[in-house]
A and B are shown apart, each in its own frame.
Chain A
Amino acid sequence: MKKFDLKRLAAIIYALAITAMAFLFFTNDFGLVDIRKTAVIIGAGIDLTEGGVSVTAQVAVPQPSENGENTVYIEVEGDGATVADALNVINKKTGFFPKLVFCKLLILGESCRDADIFEVLDYFYRDDYTQLTPVIAMCSGSAGELLASKMRFGNTATVSIERLLSDEAKKSANVSTVNLKMIGIDNFSQSAACYMPYIRARAQSAASPAAQSTGGGGQSEGQSGGEEGGDMQEFLCDRTAIFRGGRFAGILDEEQTFALNLLKNSVRHVFVPCTYEGTVYTLGLRNCRGGAGVRSSGGGAVARLAFSAVVQVNDVGRAEDPRSVSEGVVPEGVLRAGEARLRGLFSSLFSALREADCDALELGTKLFRYDRALYEELEGRVLSSAQLAFEVSLRSAG
């Protein structure tokens, strides 16, 4: 009998493997979804309907081009019982497999106010192939219509909103930019509260030449958007929607949004108007350090809203002596007026949050982390029972 030759067997196995690989290489079809079969979703809007969920996806469709990029953006809508169902409908409609890996924006329509948003968003937390990086916001009206809007600035609604909610905008404290991860963490924390920007669309005349621009190397073809020559839209993201236990709890106005951002985000350079001796000053705040904390005091909790910054006067409502401008010293009275103004903003924010019973400042979570015994004593009523203390300090830059 021939001797069993392991080397020969290995050679045969490897030869077979290479043959199989070559076969796969050239046939190249075992359920692959390659770049040409993919619908790259760059933004999605979610509205609740009677039958479940309606997802409007803004999809990039690259066109054959000899020189550079030629991408057309289209809005595709799919309805289903869940987001996954709706995406499947999009797949059926277009033949393209929708991939959310490049999705940078999720917009919840006004209809989502009536539901637990984490039930709606469950797909994004559950699916292995989506990330928690998309920025999320709520809008007035329908998210689908918002995404299909013709834009005054820029090319697509997604790109415009993304720009408004960028990290740079976040650092100016004007928008409360958050992503799926942040709202998830906030909601599942001890505070069980989260917030997100609230977008409003405002119609503008189509006469502006900017409306014709198709910047960014691509061009927009809002197929489900407004009619040709219709009103152009611009968006405002200066308000914030707050949620308690995943349910809509209210909307913070512009000033409360600003205050929330000062306390929650690391802001870089912000502007605060204040009035001193009948003159309006616009203060430019740098080196901002803000935060909301909680500590125990006399058996209860004290919410401490702290903010400090270096200030310079950016604008004054009257003409000033050029020498005082060059010195750049902010008068003490103006600093105090600025502090008072900030205290007012924080107070307004805290009242609004307390009224909505929404612990968006994460006082409960912080108490749990730093004083667990007191947290267990006050569980569920940290926000309502906490006393408020301000530590606002502005220093002149000069």
Chain B
Amino acid sequence: MHSDVKGGAKKGYAAMLEYVNKTLTSPDVMTFEFKSLSGKKFAAVYLDGVTDKALLGELVIKPLRSVREGEEDGQTAMLLASPEIKECKEIQEVIDGILDGNAALFVEDGGAMYVIGLKNPPGRAVTEPPTQVTVKGPREGFTEDIKTNLGLVRKRLKSSDLHIKLLSSGRQSATAVALCYIRGVCREGVPEQIEENIKKNKIDLVPDSSYISSFITKHPRSLFKHCGSCEKPDIFCAKLCEGRAGIIVDGSPIALTAPYMVVEDFQSAEDYYITSYRATIIRALRLAAVLIGILLPSVYICAQLFKIQLIPVKLLFKIASSVSGIPFSPSVEMFLTLMVLEVLNEASIRMPKYVGLALSVVGALVLGDTAVKAGIISTPAIIIVAFSAICLYTVPDLVETTTTLRLLYLMVAGSLGLYGIVLLTAFMLCYLCSEQSYGVPLLAPFAPLVEGDLKDALLKSNMYSIKRRPLSLGSRNKVRLKSDKK
């Protein structure tokens, strides 16, 4: 019988209901059978806690119960008050619909099956994202609900060219993935390539967009990411308008964009809401801070080990005084200090908030102060590591990469010295110069040099100067600011 039911629809109300109940044995799958005034039997199957029961009662059960004899002419869907109704031919579609959080409606007479859009999973409200806080500008951030997120995008892009393609990823999770792009603006071939990459992925579960991010990347093992991420709909829409494709994954508040250029991470949404002068200064500061954050610990130990001339003589004497009693070599000392910082960082994120204060005390006082007093770690090492950490967080989107790079540079500096640093930098540049994200070089618009795009790279010109979309992205429709002048 089951195979019959599985094979085709309309095998009978009871058979189908039985099949569903046997397939979905979880206790949160609820079945509610009721009759209309005409005596016709219905069954609503839904997920407790995910489906909106109040709406189910109001929009589905109440209208159907009040149907009298002769009032219906075989079209149950017309009687429902819900705007989102899908009639299903296959039982599997119904099961997928139930698992997605919607309600399924089985009708006794004729064996019709409907999936009614009543999904209302527990979720949080639209709030300001913690990683992309702005002083000026919109404070809305994406949530875990794909529908809310798409709504936030739609709110900003009221264009008929905005194309949203709903895909599904994950063999077990069947996570909804929305591929968004603006037709005519996004380079042809990019959405298709992304779609193909998403479809190729046969993983069980896609709990977050970071999974999708690694599937749509050509080099998933790369230290550098190949697609951008954002938590704010305003940034997401701006990126779509520049010619990128966007990906919103159900269950993830972080949306992805591709193609990606490294320079994106040095730009923040706020740069566009403040004066261009200030934005340019801030961008330059971010770049300088990231370079300092990565290189400072390694250059410091190189200066101690290989080239003391790099340090001014008076500072050298101070450093020499501080390090003269330390039992470790400068490189090991710096390594240990960095490790302590990383551990503290990790613990402060993971630890319950009520332990956080204690952790700060332990980290700052016990580990830091006492270690210096005990002559285990020198004061300059702590200052340098702390400053380096602060610097790296000026570009939070790159922190994963930059902290790894900092460690790599430290290893190279401690073993090979300044030449190691120079070689590693050259190596990284060479690597970055040969990498692409969906046909766009990662280091664009600097390598290859795209002069027009330099207006909004590290430099931020005023809005009137940036008349074209980034040429590096290869949009067909290049004009983003139309001039009235003829």
Partners in one complex: yes
Interface check B313, CB cutoff 8 A: yes
- Cross-chain contact A71 with B319 (CB below 8 angstroms): no
- Cross-chain contact A32 with B317 (CB below 8 angstroms): no
Give the residues from 30 to 77 in chain A that come closer than 8 angstroms, CB to CB, to chain B.
32, 34-36, 38, 40, 42, 60, 62-66, 68-71
Q: Which residues of B contact A69 (CB under 8 A)?
A: 314, 317-318, 321
Q: Please, how many angstroms separate the alpha-carbon atoms of A68 and B321 in the complex?
A: 8
Q: Please, how many angstroms separate the alpha-carbon atoms of A24 and B317 in the complex?
A: 27
Digitize B371-396: 1 where CB-to-A-CB distance is under 8 Å, 0 elsewhere.
01101000000000000000000000
- Cross-chain contact B317 with A34 (CB below 8 angstroms): no
CB proximity of B177 to chain A, nearest CB, Å:
31
Q: Please, how many angstroms separate the alpha-carbon atoms of A69 and B317 in the complex?
A: 6
Interface check B449, CB cutoff 8 A: no
CB proximity of A92 to chain B, nearest CB, Å:
21
Query: Which residue from A36, A42, A66 sits with its C-beta under 8 Å from B320?
Result: A36
Chain B CB count within 10 A is highest, among A23, A34, A99, A102, for A34
A217 touching B305 in the complex, CB below 8 Å, given contacts A21-B416, A64-B324: no
Give the residues from 309 to 325 in chain B that come closer than 8 angstroms, CB to CB, to chain A.
309, 313-314, 316-325
- Cross-chain contact B373 with A32 (CB below 8 angstroms): no
- Cross-chain contact B332 with A26 (CB below 8 angstroms): yes
- Cross-chain contact A24 with B320 (CB below 8 angstroms): no
Interface check B308, CB cutoff 8 A: yes
- Cross-chain contact B411 with A35 (CB below 8 angstroms): no
Digitize A63-95: 1 where CB-to-B-CB distance is under 8 Å, 0 elsewhere.
111101111000000000000000000000000
Interface size on A, residues (CB 8 A): 31
- Cross-chain contact B411 with A25 (CB below 8 angstroms): yes
Q: Please, how many angstroms separate the alpha-carbon atoms of A271 and B56 in the complex?
A: 101
B319 — nearest CB in chain A belongs to which residue?
A: A35
CB proximity of B484 to chain A, nearest CB, Å:
56
Interface check A324, CB cutoff 8 A: no
Q: Which residues of B contact A38 (CB under 8 A)?
A: 308
Interface check A300, CB cutoff 8 A: no
Q: Which residues of A contact B324 (CB under 8 A)?
A: 36, 62-64
Query: Which residue from A21, A22, A28, A71 sits with its C-beta under 8 Å from B317?
Result: A71
Interface check B260, CB cutoff 8 A: no
Q: Please, how many angstroms separate the alpha-carbon atoms of A35 and B318 in the complex?
A: 11
Query: Which residue from B316, B330, B331, B416 sits with its C-beta under 8 Å from A102?
Result: B316
- Cross-chain contact A35 with B332 (CB below 8 angstroms): no
- Cross-chain contact A25 with B414 (CB below 8 angstroms): yes
CB proximity of A19 to chain B, nearest CB, Å:
11
12 contacts between A and B (CB under 8 A): A18-B411, A21-B412, A21-B420, A28-B331, A35-B304, A62-B317, A62-B320, A63-B324, A68-B321, A69-B314, A70-B321, A102-B313
The 4 A-B pairs with the shortest beta carbon distances in the complex, nearest first, are A62-B320, A24-B415, A64-B325, A25-B414
Give the interface of B toward A (CB within 8 A).
Answer: 304-306, 308-309, 313-314, 316-325, 329-332, 335, 372-373, 375, 411-412, 414-416, 420
